[in-house]
Amino acid sequence: MNIVVIGGSGLVGQNILRSCEERGISATGTYRTAPDTGTNRELDKTDPVSVRELLQEIEPDAVVDTAAFHAVDDCESEQERAWTVNAQGTKHVASAADAVGAQLIYISTDYVYSGAPSDAPFSETDSVSPVNYYARTKYAGEQAAKIATETTVLRPSVIYGLASNNFVTWAISELRAGNEISIVDDQVSTPTYARDLAQAALAVADQNLTGVYNAAGPTRVSRYRFTRDLAASFGFNQDLISPISTEEFGQEAPRPTDSSLDSSRISNNADISFRSHSAVFDKLAEIS
């Protein structure tokens, strides 16, 4: 199997490339501004000619599109950029992947659901109701991805790991420095370990599974509880973490109250197991 990972320098992309290396899978990772571990080709997914030429050159069996403008609040103020990358850029990737007969695996988001607590956890049959502009562009990306004849959409939730900057690496840095942090306690999700999401992407590629799949961790948890559990595993002072409401925190973009996902469909169809954040934290604390 030959894979192209678009956005290979990001958190998910790095984990996919590392998993490919471990399994002996031929993989090409792209980067937008700066190369990182495993990336060797510069690519701007908003440039249709560059995308088409790269995929025609490599002729991959599968393309995993992880590249996105995912600064949720910035998407509200930079809507043109968000649409250009997340919607139009994905359209270019889908068209190019289809032209070479490659399966397209698109990494989307739990934010496409309404986030209403009464409806959570959400399954793939639940209706889509994006709560902010970022989510709107990602759902548009899902629709654009379907241009490819063979398309798989994976919807994760709060992706974390150590390979690249994300909420967990920020929290570890702050707590290790002894800084007090305020974390929202009224936003619930099912945090997804990037390593597990990478394995899921390779599994659907290997088995040629198509369609829409939730791909998230098994535990519903608030962002505040998630951070407290992180501190407990790493031996940080949990008293440094204070709860704050979403309203008090004042984020520019609306957030879903409960975007937790039911990922049983992909677990049953691809024999994928997503680990709880507590188990992952314990493991990461051992090796870091």
- How far apart CA 274 and CA 194 sit, in angstroms, is 10
- How far apart CA 136 and CA 82 sit, in angstroms, is 10
C-beta neighbour count of 52 within 10 angstroms: 17
- How far apart CA 10 and CA 165 sit, in angstroms, is 8
- How far apart CA 67 and CA 185 sit, in angstroms, is 29
- How far apart CA 75 and CA 155 sit, in angstroms, is 19
Give alpha helix (H) positions in 153-251.
167-176, 194-207, 223-234, 246-249
The single residue of 133, 134, 139, 160 carrying the catalytic annotation is 134
Angle, CA of 169, 202 and 119, to the nearest 5°: 70
**134 given a catalytic annotation:** yes
Tokens coding 61: 């069996």
Three-state SS letters, 23-90: HCCEEEEEECCCCCCCEEEECCCCCHHHHHHHHHHHCCCEEEECCCCCCHHHHHHCHHHHHHHHHHHH
Tokens coding 114: 């309404």
Q: Are strands 103-107 and 151-155 parallel, antiparallel or unpaired?
A: parallel
Q: Would you name the residues annotated as active-site residues? A: 134
